[in-house]
């Protein structure tokens, strides 16, 4: 009677979901990175149906938009008047076109995200094996309140499905429930749908009544009891949404661990359904992996990371970091307290350290941004170092501009790189410099004022303060009014010889060491030049 595989899948997603108390259609609420409807579509994908339809009603534009983006092969079918599940299936069949009488039609609710492909495959296999006109997926639960009951005769054959509101006292004691999942032969289904009435408590065309009509017509009807009753649970409110989310979380984390990932604390680890983890990865507590994040072999993520649509290379370490649509290279180190915004790419063995924010930044292999910096709209070559508190000044209030840094560059601490600007290969910038013009390869760019000392200023201007007492204890005496800003004629001035010495445009050679500003590097300097590097 039936074909070797389903020809059509119909998913019922027209309900409003009032108990969600939301302007969003119920089937578009998310758990584990997917909408409820997306989870059902994913499970049904294992059936390899030639045609799939989703019946939409409430929020039809939103549901149709989701389908167009994520499942363009699926046909949205509008149920203008919501006259029940039977009416919804009839509308869907009309939209799907002609079916042979023996073709198989699988009907699913759109709010059952815990259904698995294995359960649906087993349902269809039994349906075919028994050449049934209909096969119902049922579940046996302790409290069947609110569910339709599967009624069997003395021999155990399915006789009917009775909705909860229409159940008498004896029927209400039955613990086997209808899950709303069916496999039908197309011909008998269409015949029974044409005979449905609305003579019931809700005044609707019940799809469940099809079972009784098929039995009355002498057609074989079967039921398959689901192994895990939890799969059949629908989501009707936010409490059930959260509960379903926890179940999916547990499934995903367990599957990851069995596939070779170490999850230190499964209870505080959340991994979306589309995340991929290679073996020998480690996920530390309080970590959230969202979207299509991919973590390669040997990488360590967490604790306290949130990665969304981010790729992490083999052997990388990511600690206390938020990243969205970023790429982290093999062997790289990120964090703690880093924020990688969309468009960030960190090369192999690179580093983005504490309190660093990046955005649309391409950082080459072994390049380091160790701490306290903003790198935006930038391209940085290989083996370069960006010093502490450096800012890539990329926005002029109207448009964004790009900064290009070459390879083997040392950007001094507290450098402001005012885009658009280019720093050539092997160049240096001094600490505190504001770089507005391009820096040639191998040059040192310095831009800062001279340091001036006003002796005794604290004693005169802050008398009695803790600083003044400390200065007095150190033997400092206030030298009259010399250097006092209130006596500008006595302010220290550069000597005539000092004033006559210009500052060279590029101070990069040993002959001008005394004129180089200190960049804040902990060592004497890079290649023997004081102040020519940045903190690391």
CA dihedral 231, 236, 238, 239 (to 10 degrees): -60
Q: How confident is the model at residue 449 (pLDDT cuts 50, 70, 90)?
A: confident
The percent of residues above 90 in pLDDT, for the chain, comes to 77
Instruction: Tell me the C-alpha distance between 80 and 463, whole Å.
Output: 84
* Helix, coil or strand: residue 36: helix
CB 232 within 8 Å of CB 247: no
Q: What CATH number has the domain spanning 252-445?
A: 2.160.10.10
pLDDT tens by residue, 351-366: 999 999 999 999 999 9
For residue 4, the model assigns a pLDDT of: 59
Instruction: Tell me the C-alpha distance between 103 and 124, whole Å.
Output: 12
For residue 529, the model assigns a pLDDT of: 39
For residue 496, the model assigns a pLDDT of: 52
* Helix, coil or strand: residue 225: strand
pLDDT tens by residue, 146-200: 889 999 998 888 999 998 888 999 999 999 999 999 999 999 999 999 999 988 7
For residue 510, the model assigns a pLDDT of: 35
Sign of CA dihedral 464, 470, 475, 477: negative
Bigger pLDDT: 374 or 519? Answer: 374
SS3 of 160-215: EEECHHHCCHHHHCCCEEEEEEEEEEHHHHHHHHCCCCCCCCCCCCCCCHHHHHHH
pLDDT tens by residue, 298-334: 999 999 999 999 999 999 999 999 999 999 999 999 9
Q: What are phi and psi of 30, to 5 degrees?
A: -110, 145
Instruction: Tell me the C-alpha distance between 320 and 340, whole Å.
Output: 11
Task: Tell me the pLDDT of the chain averaged across its residues.
Answer: 89
Two tokens at 261? 């990932």
Count Cβ neighbours within 10 Å for each residue of 13-39 and write b for 16 or more, e otherwise: bbbebeebeeeebbbbbebbbbbbbbb
Two tokens at 134? 């209909």
Q: What is the mean pLDDT of residues 342-352?
A: 99
* Helix, coil or strand: residue 463: coil
Instruction: Tell me the C-alpha distance between 413 and 391, whole Å.
Output: 10
For residue 59, the model assigns a pLDDT of: 92
Instruction: Tell me the C-alpha distance between 82 and 16, whole Å.
Output: 10
> Which overall architecture, per CATH, does domain 6-232 show?
Alpha-Beta Complex (3.90)
pLDDT tens by residue, 366-420: 999 999 999 999 999 999 999 999 999 999 999 999 999 999 999 999 999 999 9
* Helix, coil or strand: residue 456: coil
Q: Where are the domains of the chain?
A: 6-232, 252-445
> How much of the chain is in helix, strand and coil states, percent to nearest 5?
25, 30, 45
**Residues carrying an active site annotation:** 371
Residue 432: closest CA among 447, 445, 419 = 447
Two tokens at 417? 């790189």
Instruction: Tell me the C-alpha distance between 458 and 462, whole Å.
Output: 5
CA 475 from centroid of its chain's CA atoms? 61
For residue 127, the model assigns a pLDDT of: 96
77 pLDDT more than 60: yes
Instruction: Tell me the C-alpha distance between 347 and 382, whole Å.
Output: 8
Hunting for tokens 């079916």 — which residue is that? 99
Residue 110: closest CA among 202, 219, 28, 50 = 28
Residues in CB range of 493: below 8 A, 6 or more apart: none
DSSP 323: E
């Amino acid at each position: 009677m039936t074909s070797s595989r389903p020809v059509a899948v119909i998913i019922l997603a027209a309900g409003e979901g009032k108990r969600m108390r939301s302007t969003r259609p119920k089937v578009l609420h998310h758990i584990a990175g997917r909408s409820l409807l997306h989870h059902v579509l994913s499970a049904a994908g294992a059936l390899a149906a030639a045609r799939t339809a989703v019946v939409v009603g409430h929020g039809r534009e939103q549901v149709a938009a989701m389908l167009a983006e994520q499942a363009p092969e699926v046909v949205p079918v509008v149920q203008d008047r919501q006259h029940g599940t039977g009416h919804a299936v009839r509308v869907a069949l009309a939209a799907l076109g002609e079916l042979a009488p023996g073709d198989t039609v699988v009907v699913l609710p759109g709010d059952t995200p815990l259904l698995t492909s294995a359960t649906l495959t087993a349902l269809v296999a039994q349906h075919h094996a028994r050449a049934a006109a209909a096969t119902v997926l049922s579940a046996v639960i302790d409290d069947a309140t609110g569910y339709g009951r599967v009624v069997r005769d003395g021999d155990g054959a399915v006789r009917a499905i009775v909705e909860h509101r229409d159940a008498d006292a004896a029927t209400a004691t039955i613990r086997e429930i209808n899950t709303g999942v069916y496999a039908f032969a197309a011909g008998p289904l269409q015949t029974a749908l044409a005979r449905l009435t609305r003579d019931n408590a809700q005044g609707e065309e019940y799809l469940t009544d099809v079972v009784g009509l098929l039995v009355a017509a002498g057609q074989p009807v079967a039921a398959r009891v689901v192994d895990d009753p939890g799969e059949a649970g629908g989501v009707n409110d936010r409490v059930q949404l959260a509960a379903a989310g926890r179940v999916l979380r547990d499934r995903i984390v367990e599957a990851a661990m069995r596939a070779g990932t170490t999850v230190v604390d499964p209870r505080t680890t959340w991994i979306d359904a589309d995340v991929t983890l290679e073996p020998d990865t480690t996920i530390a507590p309080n970590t959230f992996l969202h979207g299509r994040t991919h973590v390669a072999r040997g990488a360590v993520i967490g604790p306290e990371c949130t990665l969304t649509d981010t790729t992490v290379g083999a052997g990388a370490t990511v600690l206390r970091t938020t990243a969205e649509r970023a790429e982290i290279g093999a062997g790289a180190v990120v964090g703690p307290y880093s924020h990688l915004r969309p468009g960030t790419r960190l090369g192999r063995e690179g580093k983005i350290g504490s309190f660093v924010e990046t955005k649309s930044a391409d950082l080459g292999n072994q390049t380091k941004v160790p701490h306290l910096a903003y790198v935006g709209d930038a391209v940085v070559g290989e083996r370069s170092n960006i010093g502490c508190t450096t800012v890539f000044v990329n926005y002029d209030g109207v448009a964004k501009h790009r900064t290009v840094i070459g390879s083997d560059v040392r950007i001094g601490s507290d450098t402001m790189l005012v885009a658009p600007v280019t720093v050539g290969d092997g160049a240096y910038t001094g600490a505190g410099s504001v770089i507005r013009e391009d820096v040639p390869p191998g040059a040192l760019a310095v831009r800062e004022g001279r340091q001036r000392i006003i002796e005794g200023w604290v004693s005169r201007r802050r008398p009695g303060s803790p600083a003044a007492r400390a200065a007095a204890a150190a033997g400092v005496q206030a030298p009259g009014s010399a250097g006092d800003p209130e006596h500008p004629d006595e302010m220290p001035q550069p000597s005539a010889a000092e004033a006559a010495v210009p500052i060279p445009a590029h101070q990069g050679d040993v002959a001008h060491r005394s004129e180089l500003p200190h960049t804040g590097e902990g060592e004497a300097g890079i290649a023997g030049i004081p102040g020519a590097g940045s903190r690391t």
